[in-house]
Amino acid sequence: MSAANTAPVPATVSAESPAPVGDHPFDEAIRLEPLGDRHFAGATHPEYWNQVGPFGGITAALMLQSVMQQPDRLGDPLSLTVNYAAPVREGEFRIETKLVRSNRTTQHWSMELVQGEGAGREIAISAIAVCAIRRDTWRLTEASAPPAPPPENCHRVRGRTDLPWLAHYDMRYVRGRPMHENEDSVTHLWVGDLPHRTLDFPSLAAICDVFFPRLYLRRPKFVPIGTVSLNVYFHCGAEALAANGARHVLASAHGQVVSAGFFDQQGQIWSQDHDLLATTHQIVWFKE
């Protein structure tokens, strides 16, 4: 989540063609080079920069990507928690991962994003994740997708042009107007990568963090904010993501409480086929 004001822009940009696979700026941004010993080298990407650090969603995607790249990974992501301990500084970083435990159907990982060497070594991000083999079982979706006209009938809202990452998401708001005193913080929007890109687990993790700060929907006053902890539960397999392809997903979020310098957010990400792809929660610091 990142502070950003909105301004409507023409929707024509969404007609861009999909970028060739692997050549998308998102793929460049989550590129990790194996260093051995389950460590990886990466670097911040200028196109996913926010204000004082990378877009939190790209950092979440990177932490997950460090698990996706493990040759002995079991199944697909089930759960991801990312704790933002400090801003990631511009430039190179390492992600140091550990296989905590491998069971028959679940596998547990921990990951840290590290910058600096020796006495200057600092952990900026601390994360844990679970992968799992999904099975065909009884299914029930108790939640329901929010009502929304198709994305092509919704107006694209382009955020602040000084925040590079916002240029990489096509966001079409259905409900919830930031920087206004709304009666609640409920927001629905269609969102997709720009250029278009087929959905996968890292991009879905990133999309879980595209929402405006809930605080801005109840109190129209700009203050610095920063996500402290982000949680994602994945409710689908890779084939459901591939089935959605490069089409927009419907994202919904609301907050429950603002208190003592922090506020929460919970959200859902729905496919165009009404599959609940992911649920997400975060707790966010704000400056009074």
Instruction: Enumerate binding residues for a copy of itself (CB under 8 A).
Output: 78-79, 81, 83, 85-86, 100-101, 103, 105-106, 108, 110, 112, 122-124, 126-128, 130, 132, 134-143, 184-185, 218-219, 228-229, 231, 233, 235-237, 254-262, 264, 266, 268, 276, 279, 281, 283, 285-286, 288
Question: Residue 89 or 219: which CB sits closer to a copy of itself?
Answer: 219
DSSP 8-state code for residue 245: T
- The Cα–Cα gap between 242 and 34 comes to 26
- The Cα–Cα gap between 14 and 229 comes to 31
Q: Which amino acid makes up residue 53?
A: G
C-alpha closest to that of 200 among 258, 137, 246, 269:
246
- The Cα–Cα gap between 68 and 82 comes to 15
Question: Residue 11 or 123: which CB sits closer to a copy of itself?
Answer: 123
Residue 188 near residue 252, CB atoms below 8 Å: yes
Question: Residue 150 or 261: which CB sits closer to a copy of itself?
Answer: 261
Question: Residue 164 or 267: which CB sits closer to a copy of itself?
Answer: 267
CB of 198 to a copy of itself, least distance (A): 21
Q: Which amino acid makes up residue 63?
A: M
Question: Residue 247 or 281: which CB sits closer to a copy of itself?
Answer: 281
CB of 98 to a copy of itself, least distance (A): 9
Question: Residue 160 or 281: which CB sits closer to a copy of itself?
Answer: 281
- The Cα–Cα gap between 230 and 162 comes to 24
Distance in angstroms between the alpha carbons of the first and the last residue of the chain: 17
CB of 132 to a copy of itself, least distance (A): 7
CB of 204 to a copy of itself, least distance (A): 15
What the block records as the tokens of 170 is 């096509």
What is the rounded (10 degree) CA torsion for 20, 24, 30, 35?
Answer: 50
CB of 2 to a copy of itself, least distance (A): 18
CB of 150 to a copy of itself, least distance (A): 23
